[in-house]
Chains A and B, each alone.
Chain A
Amino acid sequence: MAKPCAGVWGRSMATGQKTYWHLLSQRRAPSDYEVVTSRLLYYPGKEPEVHTPVGAWMGKHRSTIPPETWERFNDPRQTTYRSYTELQSRLEAHIDEVIRADVCGPVSRDTLALLKAYVAPLRYPCHGLMMLAAYAGHLAPSGKVAICLAFQATDELRRIDRITQHAVKRLGADAVRASRLHWQEAKEWQPLRKVIERLLVTYTWDESFIALNLVLKPLIDRVFCDRLGSTLDACGDGTFQQIFRSLADDTRWHREWSAAAVGTAFGPGETDAVQSVVDRWLPSVQHAVEVLAAFASNDAAASDMSEYAVFIEGMGLNAGKGNASKT
């Protein structure tokens, strides 16, 4: 402790304290990621200073896992705002190059049909995915989780932008605008729309987050990014595949950090609650994927489900009591 008169500035010149208060117990120099992301939420465990309806909502729907447990979660990519904008601006510059190199020759009728039926309407479910990420983010049990979900939400915005931009180039603005009707009425989209709409009114944080990031996104992202990309490539539109490949990088990270988050928050003996959410949502998501991805081969669908099973089993869970192998 400094003496009252010590130091040129009236304060001690060397405090012996090497980092912020909440990182001292680590007894090591914190990483940049830890300095700028840890314990950013001040309200968990505190009585709110104001009682608003939103505050009551948050209290009612928050995660059942205590905030101090969630605070132990670290994003495996250690994403900060600085690293995110650096990484994503690089990926976006790459897409700009891909689009610049795109020479739009005659587009086959099959390709146009695919673009109209599957690509242009994709903007709507992706917007739903953005809303769902934002919901989980605003109610996130720790600052680090909130940051991952904020970046996930804007990754969806990225996907929407690139899909729209390129679809307008291929189809024209009017056809893209008209795809709202397709999303609302075409049979192939309805099971997915139903899942997304039901998920939008699922407000309990644990259920909303698990259904989104452990069930819906891992499966639907494969369809959106990989299957649609390779189908378009087979039809001669390789540019779209390159765009989707880059977008798939984002979704890979969504799976990685979600698995890490669930692994941190739910101990080996506590996965029943997670499994029950997976069981509840998987059948309808699988059905939505099957109906939507009719354009892809059966082999591709089976391969996606096996990959999903590996992902989910990595967390000590199972893919819907054998559903994976049946598909």
Chain B
Amino acid sequence: MESQHASGESWLSLARKLDWDFSYVDERDVFPAEICGKPWLDGNAWRSWDEPYKTSYSSYVATQHEKEQSLKTVDHVLGRLRDFQSLDVAWLNGLKLHAAALPLAEFAATIGNLRAARFGRDGAWRAAAALGALDECRHAQIPLRMMHKLVRWDRQFDWTHKFYHTNCWVAIAARRLFDELLLFSDPIEFAVATNFVFETGFTNLQFIGLASIAEESGDRLFEQMTMSIQTDEARHAQIGLPVLETVIKHDPEYAQYLIDKWFWRSWVVFAILTGFTMDYLTPVEKRKASFKEFVQEWVLDQFLTSIENLGLKKPWYWDTFLQSLDYYHHMVYASAYTYRATVWFDLVVPGPGELHWLAEKYPNSWKSFEPVWNRIHEQWEHCDPGVDFGVHGTSIVGFCNMCQIVLCQGTPEHNTACTLDHKGQRYIFCSEPCKWIFEREPDRYAGHKDLVKRVLAGEAPANLVQLLRTYCSLDFDSWGKDARKGEYPWLRRQPKDPRKEEG
């Protein structure tokens, strides 16, 4: 890890542990419970907060300046338009998915970190969060700068900035997550959810797993960018553990709740973001391992060991989670492909080579998905290339009232959607964990309208094309299509019968 300080620099802790006893105001007013989070403890209870690698300001700016210079050079050498044009089209669309999902969410993390730099309960925690705020600002600015030149080539890259400003259903789901995780969360929940679960638990999937695939796919720029970002994450993710340890000491039940809630919510987002890219949008010959294998290698063992070491239990829904590891991202991908005009990137149909690979990697579940893709193959065989709407869903889909993603949990044979009646309203969820999260804090979630409810309330148009154009900010040029226009060499497209055309 970079920028840790030698123990010889003993002055550094004197520059961090700077809490004092208030005389002119009350500590509870300086650190109000409603914004500091729970448990609310006397300041002395937080004084054991410590980070293993301390960073001085001087070492921070020196290291970060070097990293920025190095990335600038890499961008100059590898970030030309023709470098992007030489990438596989499927991979390029994985890039669009990431480009949109990351920058403004990273900036929401700048806001969350600034809040922790004010309301974190120990001076050293606050200082670490201030540097964390800068890191996240960097992670917003890098992709915005890199992708800007691609807008003139492909308007879908406009969504690098536009995505979170829209009402595309994926953006609603993303805001549903990041509003709570980053933007409007108190520093205790932020530290446990973002720093411990999201950054320590999951981001290795992106920064190690996906970076290695990017290198294999010839996208050296993406590889270098993610690896450079990873070094920042490794530093500020340290904030989480000492916060969690104090919460465990004083309110173990709440600590367990936060872990259970945020493991599930993080899992859902990584299943889509990383799962799509690894198992569908990377050329099959470049794949090193499946998404499931990466999760097993980089998330599960490490996560379980770390929570067991803290005296916590694995989440109560663990069996459900293990099943979803075989199914969930495949369910959402098939759904997203079927409704691709509702997103801002293009998707591909897995062909025989990919299907064989997926069957090998997912022996427990893939036989359930084969009929889905066989049906899509058949539909394309009866459609002309480029006529996406011949192979597209038209009926209204349902969204989970917790995660706001389409009701895609369970298996193709057994969808696990479930309902709950709360204060005279019926709510629907994709899974028991999403229902359980809602039930624990209904005041946070119950007032929300999903996209279908917005249509029914007259806030959004019911006509699909109008909905996409006027409410979701998509238009024909930017909405998702089949990335290969349905022109797959392995399709057995029937030649047109001229007699029928004459008739």
In the complex, which range does the number of interface residues on chain B fall in? 35 or more
* Chain A residues, CB < 8 A from B61: 84-85, 88-89, 92
Interface of A is mostly: helix
Q: Is the CB of A36 within 8 A of B134?
A: no
CB distance from A74 to the nearest CB of B (A): 16
Does any Cβ of A come within 8 Å of B250's Cβ?
no
Contact: B18 with A173, CB < 8 Å? Answer: no
- Residues of chain A within 8 A (CB-CB) of B11 are 164-165, 167-169, 173, 176
Interface-forming stretch among B22-30, B293-301, B306-314, B488-496? Answer: B22-30
- Which of B30, B158, B476 lies in contact with A20, CB distance below 8 A? B158
Q: Which residue of the partner chain, among B35, B58, B144, contacts A57 with CB atoms under 8 Å?
A: B35
- Whether B375 sits at the interface, judged by CB under 8 Å, is no
Q: Which residue on chain A has the smallest CB distance to residue B68?
A: A82
Interface size bucket, A side? 35 or more
Partner of B117, one of A92, A131, A183: A131
CB-CB under 8 A for A35 and B35, given A193-B23, A194-B24: no
- Asked if residues A92 and B386 are in contact (CB atoms below 8 Å), the reply is no
User: Is there an interface contact between B130 and A138, defined as CB atoms closer than 8 Å?
Assistant: no
Given contacts A21-B158, A35-B145, A80-B141, contact A138 B111 (CB under 8 A): yes
When distances are taken between beta carbons in the complex, the residues of chain B under 8 Å from A1 are 475-477
Interface SS of chain B: helix
B183 contacts partner chain A, Cβ-Cβ < 8 Å: yes
Are B184 and A58 in contact, CB atoms less than 8 angstroms apart?
A: yes
Nearest neighbor of A190 in chain B, beta-carbon distance:
B23
Which residues in chain B, 115-145, are within 8 Å of chain A measured between CB atoms? 115, 117-118, 123, 126-127, 129-131, 133-134, 137-138, 140-141, 144-145
Shortest Cβ distance from residue A191 to the other chain B in the assembled complex, whole angstroms:
10
Q: Is A55 an interface residue (CB 8 A)?
A: yes
Partner pick for B155 among A15, A53, A56, CB 8 A cutoff: A15
Q: Which of B64, B107, B448 contacts A50 (CB 8 A)?
A: B448
Contact A17 B152 (CB under 8 A): yes
Say yes or no for A104: interface residue by CB 8 A criterion: no
Known interface pairs A14-B153, A40-B104, A51-B447; A137-B114 also in contact (CB < 8 Å)? yes
Which B residues lie within 8 Å of A163 (CB)?
15
Whether, in the assembled complex, B175 has its beta carbon less than 8 Å from a beta carbon of chain A, the answer is yes
Known: A9-B89, A15-B151, A15-B477. A53 touches B35 (CB 8 A): yes
The 10 residue pairs across chains A and B that have the minimum distance between CB atoms:
A134-B117, A55-B184, A164-B15, A42-B164, A138-B114, A127-B18, A36-B141, A89-B65, A85-B65, A138-B115
Residues of chain A having any CB pair with chain B under 8 Å: 1-2, 4-5, 9-22, 32, 35-37, 39-43, 46, 48-58, 80-82, 84-86, 88-89, 92-93, 95-96, 123-124, 127, 130-132, 134-135, 137-138, 140, 143, 146-147, 149-151, 153-154, 157-158, 160-165, 167-169, 173, 176-177, 180, 183-184, 190, 193-194, 197-198, 200-201
Residues on B facing A (Cβ under 8 Å): 9-12, 14-15, 18, 20-25, 29-30, 34-35, 56-58, 60-62, 64-65, 68-69, 72, 85, 89, 92, 103-104, 107-108, 110-112, 114-115, 117-118, 123, 126-127, 129-131, 133-134, 137-138, 140-141, 144-145, 148, 151-156, 158, 160-162, 164-165, 172, 175-176, 179-180, 183-186, 346, 385-388, 404, 443-445, 447-448, 475-477, 481-485
Supplied contacts A173-B10, A197-B23, A198-B25, 19 more A-B pairs, CB within 8 Å: A12-B154, A18-B152, A36-B141, A37-B141, A51-B443, A89-B61, A89-B65, A127-B126, A131-B117, A131-B118, A134-B115, A150-B114, A153-B114, A154-B130, A160-B127, A161-B15, A161-B58, A164-B14, A165-B56
